[in-house]
Structures are given as structure tokens and as C-alpha cells.
Structure 1
Amino acid sequence: MTDIDTQFLRSLFDEEGSLHTAGRTALYRLYGLEGLLYVGISTCPLTRIRTHLRQQPWGSHVIGVRIDYPNDAHAAERDAVHTERPLYNVVFNGESPPPPPNRPARLKAELAAQQRRLAQLRDAVPQSTTHLRLILRGITAAEARIARLAGDIQRAEETESARRPPGRRSRRAQP
């Protein structure tokens, strides 16, 4: 393998060894001989798939993987599970799909997870200059994701409040 090939392959993965997604959420499907086994979403799809393969009783049945990056991975997952009926999904696999989750609440949960990850990165002790560079890259990327999520939350909350009838105001808006 040439140096150019090696550099290209390394560029596909982030500092944790997972497929580089640039902060996007991936929708992944796991297939077996019996058809679609599982549909899920993750910002680190290869890491999550590895976890399924190791921890799920059906993990040894997986023979194929498909990864996509839809604009709204949460909605795409809900729709895929409801229409494609994977064998091992429990959530969204009922007769009718549940209502879409509250976008501000979902973004706040993602923000909290990113803040925890940032705290873990900041607490990491570098073992070498290479480790230090990787940690600094991770911190910079986490800070950018947190800033983006904070903006998304603000816009989502503004959109939700604009949808309320004029006579109803949120508790925060009342004096």
C-alpha cells in the first residue's frame, strides 16, 4: 500500500478509530440471511455496529451492513423501522409509528452527551505529543458540535413557540 493510500484510509476515520462522520448522524442497517435484522442511528456507526456484533445474541447472524447519512436521521430511523420491519428492533416497530419526538428535547439530550464527551476529552492525560494533538483535535471538534447544537436548540425552541396558538404562551415567556 502506498503512502497516499494510507493517508486516504486514515482520513476516513476519526481519532477514535470510527468512521469519520463530521458530526453527522448515520442511519445503519444490519442484514442477515433472514433479511433485515436491525436499523439504528449513531454518530459513530462502526463503533456502534461492533457493539451490536459483540453484545447482541443475533450479532453472529449479521452478514451485511448499509450506512446512509440522511438529513434527519431520527425521522429516517423511525420511518425505516416502521416500514421495513427489522426483526430485532423494539422501538417504532408497532402498528403505527409514534409521534415525532420533541426536537428541542432531543437536541438537548444530544447536547448533554456532547458536553460529557468534551469533559472526558479534557480530562484525558496525553501520553505523547501525538496523543496531545489528537486530544486537541477532539476538543476542538466537540466545541464546534456543542456550539452548533446550542444554536439548533435555540432555533428549534423559537420554531416550537411560533407554532403555539397566539393565546397560549410558554411559562418562560410569562412575566
Structure 2
Amino acid sequence: MADVDAQFLRSLFDEEGSLHTAGRTALYRLYGPEGLLYVGITICPLTRIRTHLREQPWGSRVIAVRIDYPDDPEAAERRAVRAEQPRHNVVFNGPVAPPPPDPASRPRTRLTVERRRLAELEAAVPESATHVRLLARAIAAKRRRIADLTRDLQDAEGAGVRVAPRPRKERP
């Protein structure tokens, strides 16, 4: 593989090995030979899809994946499930759609995930000076992300309206 190809492939993934999404939420569709199997949203599409493939009884039938990044992923997921009727979606496939999600639930979940990842990074034992620098950068980035998510959560809980996640700043 050419060096340019390797650099391109590395650029697709973040430090944790997930597909680099710049903080955006992905809408993904999983297809089988009989058609659409499942529609979902996630901030780590490859990790989530791998989980479905391993843990769902229908995972072995997945033959294709489609990933999109809509502006309002929650609404796009609701519309896709209601219109496309995937075989294995339970939520939104019934006669009455569930109510929209609590506006603070997404920032609260992201904040919990980022705090856990920060704790894991802070507990890591570095193997070399390079590892120390990488860990220090990752810890600083997680602390900034937690501060942003804390503000988003406070905004969402205070206003009671849906708050779009702040875009992540690109690394230099």
C-alpha cells in the first residue's frame, strides 16, 4: 500500500479507532439479501455496526451498509424507520410514534461517555515520551469536549429545547 493510501486510511479514524465523524451523528442503514434490516444513529458508526454484527441474531445477514450525516439525525431516523419499515427496528415501527427525545438526553449521554474516556486516559500508564505527549493531548482535548458538553447540557436543561451539538474543532 502506498504511503499516501496509508495516510488517507489513518485520517478516516480518530485516536480511539472509530470512524472520524468530527462530532457529527451518523444515520446508518444495514441491508440484508431481503432488504433493509435496521436503521439507527450513533456518533461511532463502525463500532456500533460491529456490535450489531456480533450481537444481533440477524447480524450475519448484513451484506451492505449505508452511512449518512443528516443535520437532524434523530428526526431523520424517525422518518427513515416510519417510511422504510426496516425489519428489526422496534422503536418508531409501531402504529404510534414515541414522543421526541428529552432535549437534555443526548448532551447528558455524550458527557457521560466523555468523562469515562477521560478517566481511562488519565489512568493510562505511558510507555514512552511520545505516549506521554499523545496522552497529554488527548486529555486536554477531552477536558475541552467535557466543558463544551457541560455547557450544551446546561443550555438544554435550562431552555427545554433541542440543542444542536457544538461542532468539534479540527486539530492543527
TM-score, length basis structure 1: 0.81
Matched positions, count: 161
Unaligned runs of 5+ in 2: 162-172
**Partners in 1 of 2:99 and 2:67 — Cα distance?**
25
CA deviation string 1:30-87 (max 9, x = no partner): 0011111111122111111111111211111101001111222222222222222111
Question: Is the CA contact (8 Å cut-off) linking 1:15 and 1:134 kept in structure 2?
Answer: no
Amino acid at match of 1:78: R
Unaligned runs of 5+ in 1: 162-175
**Partners in 1 of 2:130 and 2:80 — Cα distance?**
41
Quote the residue 2:78 is aligned against.
78
Quote the residue 1:36 is aligned against.
36
Question: Is the CA contact (8 Å cut-off) linking 2:28 and 2:45 kept in structure 1?
Answer: yes
Report the more deviating stretch, 24-33 or 150-159: 150-159
Question: Is the CA contact (8 Å cut-off) linking 1:29 and 1:39 kept in structure 2?
Answer: yes
Quote the residue 1:150 is aligned against.
150
Paired residues for 1:79-98 under 5 Å: 79-98=79-98
Distance 1:71 1:12, change over 3 A: same
Question: Is the CA contact (8 Å cut-off) linking 1:82 and 1:96 kept in structure 2?
Answer: no
Highest CA radius of gyration, 1 or 2? 1
Higher relative contact order (CA 8 A, sep 6+): 2
**Partners in 2 of 1:17 and 1:130 — Cα distance?**
18
**Partners in 2 of 1:78 and 1:138 — Cα distance?**
34
Distance 1:37 1:119, change over 3 A: same
Question: Is the CA contact (8 Å cut-off) linking 1:81 and 1:89 kept in structure 2?
Answer: yes
Distance 1:2 1:80, change over 3 A: same
- What value does the CA root-mean-square deviation take over the aligned residues? 2.0
Question: Is the CA contact (8 Å cut-off) linking 2:38 and 2:89 kept in structure 1?
Answer: yes
SS of aligned partner of 2:104: helix
Distance 1:99 1:115, change over 3 A: same
Distance 1:132 1:79, change over 3 A: farther
Quote the residue 2:18 is aligned against.
18
Amino acid at match of 2:24: R
Distance 1:68 1:81, change over 3 A: same
Paired-residue identity, %? 66
SS of aligned partner of 1:41: strand
Amino acid at match of 1:7: Q
SS of aligned partner of 2:94: coil
Quote the residue 2:141 is aligned against.
141
TM-score, length basis structure 2: 0.82
**Partners in 1 of 2:79 and 2:103 — Cα distance?**
16
Report the more deviating stretch, 26-35 or 122-131: 122-131
Distance 1:130 1:39, change over 3 A: farther
1:103 Cα offset (Å): 0.4
